[in-house]
Structure 1
Amino acid sequence: MGQITGEMRASFLRDGFVVVPDVLDAAQIARGRRIVEGMLERKPPDPEHRGPYFLVPRFGPAGHPLLEFYRSAGIGELARELLRPGLSMYEPEFAQLALTLPPWPNSPGGPHVDGLTPPEPDGRPGTFSLLAGVWLTDQTFTHRGNLWIWPGTHLRFGRFLAEHGPDALRLQNMAPGPYPPVELGDPVQAAGTAGSVLLAHYLLGHNIGDHIGGERRETVYYRLMTQGHRERWRDYVTDPHVEFRAEPT
């Protein structure tokens, strides 16, 4: 049975993101946190470090515990519920373990877009279809390392690229960047319980927020791409709904 409701789908199309609660059960959360601990034992942050700390393992032919975690948690199946019929999803090639170690009184000045540096080997921007963030720690309250999101910016960014051409998706074209000069509106902080999954459109403006104290924030991010995305990326960035299921009437 699907977990993406019609209301969630409509929210995703309008706002560019949705938080799906209770995707992971307690055992899956515990497994994810054990994977995180194992990674941090091998590559720990400095004891005095505060703020964001990232590890980005590539999976390769041998696989990786975070790829097995992705599969067992059903993240790909969940994301496919947002796609148009007939589209399928590649498995991710890497993950990003994103921690925020408190206290960190950062307030993001503005959003960014992922994947622009370095460009892909074929020279195109590193676009993808969906960002999936798996929350291993509770983010019920704001200012706990929550992701800051500017709702609807994926649509305004898409209009910017439709007007200026998809090849305007370059940092040098988005001064003062790293996001284009579009109306941003007010940001929100994504919130929910551990075991929730955030699904966000590639073009959606977002950034890391502050963490005023308590438990460190642990999120595993996957960049998800539909089959055929590399060939239609220009259509995707100028028509942000091209890969996604239309809102039910």
Structure 2
Amino acid sequence: MPTDPLFYLAAIPAVILLGLGKGGFVGMGSLGLPLLALAISPVEAAAILLPILIVQDVVGVWAFRHAWDKHVLAVMLPGSLVGVVLGYLFAAQVSAAAVMAVLGVISILFAIQRLWQRRGGSVAVSRHAPGWVGMLLGVGSGFTSQIAHAGAPPFQMYVLPRHLPRDTLVGTTAIFFATTNWLKVPAYMALGQFTKAHLLATAALLPVAIVSTFAGVRLVRRVSPDRFYTAIYWLMILVGAKLLWDALAH
């Protein structure tokens, strides 16, 4: 288990953001892995965070279990499986520096997309897009989720234009990523990423993960997080740029 204080200075905020994201602040958790990757390698960070995500998924799915969209899940989950397999094949063939570079690029593009949308821009597909578009975006979501636990942008490009009720959107998101995270487990096992040290670090962070997820569930219906979201996305650009710089220097 890591003993460096820098690890916990990055890991605790990362897990809190993941918990808020799982609790209903959709997209906020995408900063978690890039933030933790400032302290340890992105491969190790992803391995530590995956079991935490799975535990947090239980809270999110239970809280919104009565509100979800069958069509979105039926269209996107098969694509997600394909994306996870592609992400595994990619990760098995490249260096840690290459994974760090991909994580940096994904972080920057995700944050720019969200900031653009918040200013009134649109990069989403049509509300009446055919199912094969949703399946392709499911592939993209599964791939980026496998590499960086950051599958939200492709998922949201298909789902947000459908203008689902808030609870249905949160519930569908929770079920989609809960399923995707379980699909990732065999790939992480095949890559040998669930080491004793990683699992001990996961166990140390689990209390923070559970509390922050319940906090997200309670706060999502009471708090307007607009300014906080904007700060998160700008920070995500800076963190992504730092990861990309380190990867290129490496």
- Structure 2-normalised TM-score? 0.28
Q: If each structure's helix is expressed as a fraction of its own residues, which one has the higher value?
A: 2
Q: Relative contact order, CA 8 A, sep 6+: which one is greater?
A: 2
